[in-house]
Amino acid sequence: MVKKAFKYIYVTLLYLFLYLPIFLLIIYSFNDSKYRGNWSGFTFRWYQELFRDRTIVAALYNTFTIALLASLIATIIGTVSAIAIHNMSPRSKVFFMNITYLPVLNPDIVIGISLLALFVWMQLKLGFVTLLLAHITFNIPYVILAVLPKLKQLNPHLEEAALDLGATPMQAFLKVILPEIMPGVITGALLAFTLSLDDFMVSFFTTGSGVNTLSIKIYSMTKLGVSPKINALSALLFVGVISMLGILQARIRKIYD
């Protein structure tokens, strides 16, 4: 009984440590004062000013556009790559898996500087395209690592059975293989979207003038002090992510029920 109570207390303290700062940020997004240590009344002022600030809205648009495009393209490339790696010989699989792990283990600053050097060598103008290519590049390994476990759980004879019943290779993939590995694909897509939304270091090195993401915009604001508008924006993003995860979880339960 004591051991069980200790487990509940430990888990509660752990989640408080993780989420209490976020809840405090949400609370202070309704604070009428600019200063976090002083509560001067409840207001929606910062939410109103948030949508009036064109630079933040532009950064938000760039962030979501790049995150959506990068996660979509990375999910397609990563899923196909995972299938290719899964069907390789054991020696080749080990080699390519080690290459896949490298971007995951490398510090973001190494990836950012490396991609910057590559884009300069290719004489690509830094901007939206280079930023998108950078996000696709560092997202692909995470999609591969999310899809591969589902491929390992897959019955190896499913595709053969579908082909024997008259399906073409494409039909066998779309109607038999893809539905079986879809949880891994969705996980990889969500992971890629989240990583792209959150990234600062790689974006900082690969973006050009006039193309800002939220992370870069917030970093530039820290020199003069972060506005409470950012608290409001963070609160909206947190609620949006929680809502998206709730809808996704409900759909997954519906599929398996």
CATH code of the domain in which 173 resides: 1.10.3720.10
What was the pLDDT predicted at 254?
Answer: 59
pLDDT beyond 70 at 156: yes
What was the pLDDT predicted at 29?
Answer: 83
In a domain, 3, yes or no: no
Distances in Å between the Cα of 113 and the Cα atoms of 50, 96, 212, 217 are 32, 23, 18, 20
pLDDT beyond 80 at 97: yes
Structure tokens at 187: 């996980």
Distances in Å between the Cα of 176 and the Cα atoms of 28, 88, 139, 189 are 49, 20, 26, 20
Structure confidence at residue 257 as a pLDDT band (50, 70, 90)? low
Structure confidence at residue 103 as a pLDDT band (50, 70, 90)? confident
**Mean of the pLDDT values across residues 179-208?**
87
More confident residue, 23 or 253: 23
Structure tokens at 137: 């590049």
What was the pLDDT predicted at 41?
Answer: 77
pLDDT beyond 90 at 45: no
Structure tokens at 112: 């950012």
In a domain, 19, yes or no: no
Structure confidence at residue 36 as a pLDDT band (50, 70, 90)? low
pLDDT beyond 60 at 255: no
What's the CA gap between 177 and 87, in Å, rounded?
13
pLDDT digits (tens, 9 = 90+) for 197-213: 888 889 889 888 778 88
pLDDT beyond 80 at 239: yes
Structure confidence at residue 68 as a pLDDT band (50, 70, 90)? very high
In a domain, 91, yes or no: yes
**Mean of the pLDDT values across residues 5-25?**
86
In a domain, 9, yes or no: no
In a domain, 18, yes or no: no
What was the pLDDT predicted at 37?
Answer: 65
In a domain, 16, yes or no: no
Q: How many structural domains comprise the chain?
A: 1
Give the Cα-Cα-Cα angle 19, 49, 237 (nearest 5 degrees): 30
What's the CA gap between 222 and 200, in Å, rounded?
14
Distances in Å between the Cα of 254 and the Cα atoms of 52, 60, 125, 251 are 40, 32, 46, 5
Structure tokens at 243: 């809502």
The domain of 170 spans 40-256
At which residue do the structure tokens 């995860």 appear? 245
More confident residue, 218 or 84: 84
Written as one string, the DSSP assignment of 43-101 is --HHHHHHHH-HHHHHHHHHHHHHHHHHHHHHHHHHHHHHHHHHTS-HHHHHHHHHHHH
In a domain, 33, yes or no: no
What was the pLDDT predicted at 44?
Answer: 83
Written as one string, the DSSP assignment of 218-239 is HHHHTTT---HHHHHHHHHHHH
What's the CA gap between 207 and 133, in Å, rounded?
10
Mean pLDDT computed over every residue of the chain: 84
**Mean of the pLDDT values across residues 150-157?**
82
pLDDT beyond 80 at 195: yes
In a domain, 172, yes or no: yes
Residues 6+ away with beta carbon under 8 Å from 171: 162
pLDDT beyond 70 at 96: yes
pLDDT digits (tens, 9 = 90+) for 132-153: 999 999 999 999 998 988 888 8
Structure tokens at 252: 């997954």
What's the CA gap between 240 and 234, in Å, rounded?
10
